[in-house]
Amino acid sequence: MAEVQLNGISKAFGKTQAVKDITMTIGDGDFVVLLGPTGAGKTTTLRLISGLEKLDSGSVFIGGRDVVHDTPAQRDVAMVFQQYSLYPHLTVRDNLAFPLRSPILKTPEDEITRKVQEIAEILQIPHKLDNKATALSGGEMQRVSIGRALVRNPSIYLMDEPLSSLDAKLRADLRVELKRIQADLGSTLLYVTHDQIEAMTMATHIGVLEEGQLVQYGTPKEVYENPVSVYVASRLGQPRINILPSNLFPGTHKGPQIGLRPENIQQGDGIEARVLRSEHLGDQTRLHLEVQGHPVTTLTDPHQDVGSDATIKISPQNPLYFDASGARVV
Amino acid sequence: MSSFSVNEPSNRTKWFAGSLVILYAIITMIPLVWIALTGFKSPADAISYPPKYIIGSDSEAGFQPTLEGYVNLFTTRTRQTQEFLDANPPENWADEIVRKYDMVIVGPSKFGERFLNSVIIGFGSTFLSVFLGTLAAYAFSRFKIPLADDLLFFILSTRMMPPIAVAIPIFLMFRNLGLSDTHLGMILLYTAVNISLAVWLLKSFIDGIPTEYEEAALIDGYTRFQAFYKVVLPQAATGIASTAIFCLIFAWNEYAFAVLLTTANAQTAPPFIPTIIGIGGLDWPAIAAGVTLFLLPVMIFTILLRKHLLRGITFGAVRK
């Protein structure tokens, strides 16, 4: 395990600037999640660290060593791809053993057998070890490809949306499992996702990417409570933060726009809001409101039944303030 | 029972399609069966009218199978006087067969040698074409090569002329290089012709293999060549097998270059088989025997690789 440092890394594909001047340090034993929508440069960042893409400029240090001129094999990284990564002509066992048999590791066969068995049990696939990789379900394939990274003990694990193709239950199980494994081994892990629940629950640090740039880097709590911009604030929180003109409410004049998460909206008194629709999700009820032509989404007590076209009163509580461009003011 | 299904043809459709396939198979098989039968007939039976086609039957359409054709194919014979024949009893079963015509076997014919030449040149050039073609196709598929499209077109353009158009320059070149009538010369020539097919076919197969597999192998600690060897090659096996069959079929059947460039030493079977016609009249059984044997290697090679070939054709068509 090692610390990984990115110094001003950039990468363009043709005219598209995929990654722009990213500088960040992934501490030894950290679980860092890169968060951002499709096209924000998350995957490219992983590929630049792994050596699958060549840097345009900047440098990458793994364990204090400049690896810019190293091949992927020499960088000692393990990577889980979003898809397509199992060797289809090999069995599950051989897939898991593949990195251990590489000319760099040359692990003795008895140790390979032990490690493969161990990982298979963690990922609940020991009964599938002798299956062809192509004879697995999507969820099993993805577990094997996570396993193929976990059998190694590399400087850093790079994971590119490893859970996105799994069903909800398995995703929740593996999320907990992955976090536990990472904490047990003290591994350094860089994890790409656009799923904010994965980001909030697993990360020790979150990096938010916007069009190839790192716009905020901090603990999940920091990023959630102190977002630097509307963009970052919209990445975390379910339902999404409501961005409204601040003159809608009396007494909120520290900036032209205010951001209200459901917990910042107090119901009971204040200005009038019309209920457009309510969604019962079981453990919570979402209210879709309209406040003077602006849509607002918030949560309410699941036992309270609010009919359509009812009117409730809301007022902001500790809102976030943003300027006209979306940058945070207070 | 006859419920509607989107993806499963009805019984009537299946029956109809099946009959069409069987009918087509019969039509294509008839000439081959005819040749195989003729190889076992006596010269008289081979040209009799009405034709004879039932093995071992005494009826009008029946004939007694004989190995005359095969013996004539593999031997050279001379006519002898009755005194000589009486003085020298037949040495073996083959000799006994030719005695019927007052002949004796004086040695082997050139057929075995020509057949071996075909095997060496056919399989040699197939191996070389597929080997070089795989490497080139991988490079074209995976690396940024300047003018890649133009180069690919250039490679293909070597197939655009009929062989006869380049025959004279190649003949002169081969003579100057000392490659005329040599195995090496023919292997190189067939490889040059086949490599364009091999590169194009294999490129589409390798394009269909996602690069993620190699990238995973690179990260798992392997070099680029090891990733190619351990991950790409096994998955390209279907493409390699079907390309090999196409290359072999071409090299095996090629006639024009063989007739122009080979004579005594490296002559292959295709230009040799027709020369049987000239030896002692039209010996149809011997020709048919030669053709039957000539068909076998490609048939066996194709049967051995048939699973790959079938999968290969559909795979290539769908993925690219």
Neighbours of B303 (CB within 10 A): 10
Using CA coordinates, name the residue in chain B closest to A152. B220
C-alpha span between B51 and B37 (Å, rounded): 11
Average pLDDT over residues B210-223: 90
Question: Residues A182, A313: one domain?
Answer: no
Do residues B117 and B88 lie in contact, with contact meaning Cβ atoms separated by under 8 Å? no
* Cα A167 off chain centre by: 17
Q: What is the pLDDT along chain A (330 residues), one digit of tens a residue?
A: 788 999 999 999 988 899 999 999 999 989 999 998 888 889 999 999 999 999 999 999 998 889 989 999 999 999 998 876 788 888 999 999 999 998 888 888 888 999 999 888 888 888 888 888 888 887 788 888 888 998 988 899 999 988 887 888 888 888 888 888 888 888 899 999 888 888 888 899 999 999 999 999 999 999 998 899 989 998 888 888 888 887 787 776 777 888 888 888 888 778 888 888 888 888 888 888 888 888 888 888 777 767 767 888 888 888 888 888 888 887
Residue A328 resides in a domain? no
Binary contact (A87, B213; C-beta < 8 A)? yes
Task: Indicate whether A252 and A273 sit together in one domain.
Answer: yes
Distance CA B147, CA B151 (A): 6
A148–chain B Cβ distance below 8 A for any pair: yes
Q: Beta strand A156-160 with A77-80: parallel, antiparallel or unpaired?
A: parallel
- Looking at the complex, does the CB of residue B226 fall below 8 Å from at least one CB of chain A? yes
Residues A288, A204 share a domain: no
pLDDT at B318: 35
Q: Are residues B215 and A81 in contact, defined by beta-carbon separation less than 8 angstroms?
A: yes
Number of Cβ within 10 Å of residue A197's Cβ equals 13
Q: Check residue B316 and give its pLDDT.
A: 39
**Domain contains A330:** no
d(Cα B47, Cα B60) in Å, to the nearest integer? 14
> With a CB-CB cutoff of 8 Å, which residues 164-223 of chain B face chain A?
210, 212-213, 215-223
Residue that terminates a domain, selected from A174, A203, A235: A235
B163 vs B317, higher pLDDT: B163
B72-102: pLDDT as tens digits: 889 888 888 888 888 888 888 888 888 888 8
**Per the structure block, which two tokens stand in for A201?**
């629950």
**A214 and A269 share a domain?**
no
Residue finishing a domain among A187, A216, A235? A235
A135, A139, A145, A149: CA torsion to nearest 10: -150
Cα A140 from Cα A138, distance rounded (Å): 5
The class (CATH top level) of B112-319 is: mainly alpha
DSSP A183-242: HHHT--EEEEES-HHHHHHH-SEEEEEETTEEEEEE-HHHHHHS-SBHHHHHHSSSSPPE
Q: Mean pLDDT in chain B?
A: 87
CATH number, domain containing residue A249: 2.40.50.140
Disruptive mutation site among B215, B218, B219, B319 for chain A (greatest number of A CBs within 10 Å): B219
Contact (CB, 8 A) for A323 and A329: yes
Residue B270 corresponds to which tokens in the numbers above? 């295709």
**Sequence ranges of the domains in chain B:** 39-109, 112-319
Residue B140 to residue A201: CA distance in whole angstroms: 45
For residue A299, what are its two tokens?
Answer: 């949560």
* Interface test with chain A among B220, B223, B228, by most A beta carbons within 10 Å: B220
CB-defined contacts A:B, below 8 A: 56
Written in H, E and C, the secondary structure of A16-76 is: EEEEEEEEEEECCCCEEEEECCCCCCHHHHHHHHHCCCCCCEEEEEECCEECCCCCHHHHC
Report the sign of the C-alpha dihedral through residues A206, A210, A212, A217, in that order.
negative
Question: Do residue A105 and residue A202 come from a single domain?
Answer: yes
What is the side-by-side strand order in the sheet with A242-245?
Answer: A242-245, A257-260, A320-322
One domain for residues A134 and A214: yes
Angle between helices B237-253 and B284-304 in degrees, nearest 10:
170
CB contact under 8 A, B216 and A79: yes
Which residues are CB-neighbours of B233 under 8 A, at least 6 positions away?
A: B134, B240
- pLDDT band of residue B319 (cuts 50, 70, 90) is very low
Contact (CB<8Å) B221/A81: no
Report the relative pairing of strands B54-55 and B62-63 from DSSP bridges: parallel
| Bridge partner residues of B313 (DSSP) | none
Report in angstroms the alpha-carbon separations of A256 from A171, A249, A250, A320, A326: 40, 11, 13, 11, 9
Give the model's confidence band at B2: pLDDT under 50 very low, under 70 low, under 90 confident, else very high. Answer: low
**Domain for residue A312, yes or no?**
yes
What crossing angle do the helices spanning B284-304 and B306-319 adopt, rounded to 10°?
A: 60
Using CA atoms, how far apart are residues A326 and A256, in angstroms rounded to an integer?
Answer: 9
Amino acid of residue B164: I
A50–chain B Cβ distance below 8 A for any pair:
yes
Identify which of B128, B193, B133 has the alpha carbon closest to the alpha carbon of residue B158. Answer: B193
The answer to whether residue A230 sits within a structural domain is yes
Shared domain for A221 and A247, answered yes or no, is no
A283 and A174 housed in the same domain: no
Q: Do A104 and A226 fall into the same domain?
A: yes
Q: Are residues A216 and A273 in the same domain?
A: no
Domain identity same for A52 and A187: yes
Between strands A4-13 and A16-26, the pairing is antiparallel
Boundary of a domain, candidates A179, A203, A235: A235
Partner-chain contact A148 B220, CB within 8 Å: yes
Confidence of residue B43 (pLDDT cuts 50, 70, 90): confident
Q: What is the pLDDT of residues B133-157, one digit of tens each?
A: 999 999 999 998 899 999 999 998 8
| B209 min Cα distance to partner chain A (Å) | 10
Q: Is residue A217 part of a domain?
A: yes
pLDDT at B228 over 80: yes
C-alpha atoms less than 13 angstroms from C-alpha of A72 in its C-beta half-sphere: 26
Q: How deeply is A172 buried, as exposed, middle or buried, from its count of CB atoms within 10 A (0-12, 13-18, 19+)?
A: middle
Dist CA B14 CA A14 (whole Å): 52
Average pLDDT rounded to a whole number, residues B160-186: 90
Model confidence pLDDT, tens digit, residues B23-32: 999 999 999 9
> What pLDDT does B309 receive?
66
A77 — contact with chain B (CB < 8 Å)?
yes
Quote the pLDDT of residue B311: 59
Structure-block tokens of residue B305: 């690789």
Contact A229, A328 (CB under 8 A): yes
Residue A49 burial by CB count (10 A; 0-12/13-18/19+): exposed, middle or buried? buried
CATH number of the domain enclosing A170: 3.40.50.300
Give the Cβ contact number of residue B274 at 10 Å: 12
In a domain, A327, yes or no: no
> Which residues does chain A have within 8 Å of residue B221's beta carbon, measured at their own beta carbons?
73, 99, 102-105
Contact B221 A88 (CB under 8 A): no
Q: How many domains does chain A have?
A: 2
Q: Look at residue B270 and give its three-state secondary structure.
A: helix
Q: Which domain holds residue A266?
A: 242-322
> Would the CB atoms of B219 and A72 count as touching at under 8 Å?
yes
Sequence-ordered list of residues with C-beta below 8 angstroms from that of A55, at least 6 positions apart, any chain = A9, A10, A11, A48, A68
Please indicate, yes or no, whether residues A8 and A148 belong to a single structural domain of this protein: yes
User: Å from A2 to nearest chain B CA?
Assistant: 17
Got the DSSP string for B5-49?
-SSS--HHHHHHHHHHHHHHHHHHHHHHHHHHHHTTS-HHHHT-S
